[in-house]
Every structure is written in structure tokens, then in C-alpha cells.
């Protein structure tokens, strides 16, 4: 598992333990950074997932991008550099059975 620059271990724990009173505050897309470090970060909790991918749709279509597993219980993150706005997206995942 990797450490994130965009979310705290405490926030991940709140989601996994179902102790978060406002999940959209933590999960989903957020614009982060400034200047050349600006982009879109997406967090997802997919409890049975072993791997996950995100695909953007709308104005800026992109190929499927693998997400980083931040917690073994299925908390994932992806950073999409250069994004200036939130876009609709689709999550895909596979579990132990593929």
C-alpha cells in the first residue's frame, strides 16, 4: 500500500469503519493543487476490489487508468494531472475471482 498526499489515514479509517458522517466530503472527485501541480484526485471505497480503474467521460475522454490501492480493505486513489474541472467518470474493479 502507498501513502497519499491528498487524504489522511484518519479519513480513510473513517470511511472503512463507517464512521464518516459525510462520505462525499472524502470520496469522489476533488480538484487539488495549483499551477503545474493542479489536477483531479478521485477516491473510491470498493470493499471487495483487488484492483480498480477509472475512465473519464465527457469533454476530456481518457483511457482507463489504474487506481492506487491505499488500504487493503479496498480504498483507492488516482490523481489525474492537468485537470481544470471535474468530469463524469466510471469506476471499474476486479475482485479475487477476477
The model's pLDDT over 49-61, given as tens digits with 9 standing for 90+, comes to 999 999 987 656 6
Residues 5-64 have pLDDT tens digits of: 889 999 999 999 999 999 999 999 999 988 888 999 999 999 989 999 999 876 566 688
Domain 9-94 fold: Immunoglobulin-like (2.60.40)
Q: How would you class 39 by CB atoms within 10 Å of its CB: exposed for 0-12, middle for 13-18, buried for 19 or more? A: middle
Residues 45, 20 contacting (CB under 8 angstroms): no
Q: What is residue 73's three-state secondary structure?
A: coil
Q: How would you class 56 by CB atoms within 10 Å of its CB: exposed for 0-12, middle for 13-18, buried for 19 or more? A: buried
Per-domain boundaries in the chain: 9-94
Instruction: Report the predicted TM-score, pTM, of the whole model to 2 decimal places.
Output: 0.88
Amino acid at each position: 500500500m502507498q501513502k497519499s498526499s491528498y487524504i489522511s489515514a484518519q479519513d480513510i479509517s473513517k470511511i472503512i469503519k463507517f464512521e464518516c458522517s459525510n462520505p462525499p466530503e472524502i470520496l469522489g472527485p476533488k480538484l487539488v493543487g495549483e499551477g503545474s501541480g493542479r489536477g483531479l484526485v478521485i477516491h473510491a471505497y470498493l470493499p471487495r476490489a483487488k484492483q480498480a480503474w477509472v475512465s473519464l467521460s465527457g469533454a476530456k475522454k481518457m483511457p482507463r487508468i489504474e487506481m492506487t490501492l491505499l488500504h487493503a480493505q479496498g480504498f483507492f486513489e488516482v490523481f489525474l494531472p492537468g485537470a481544470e474541472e471535474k468530469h463524469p467518470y466510471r469506476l471499474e474493479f476486479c475482485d479475487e475471482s477476477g
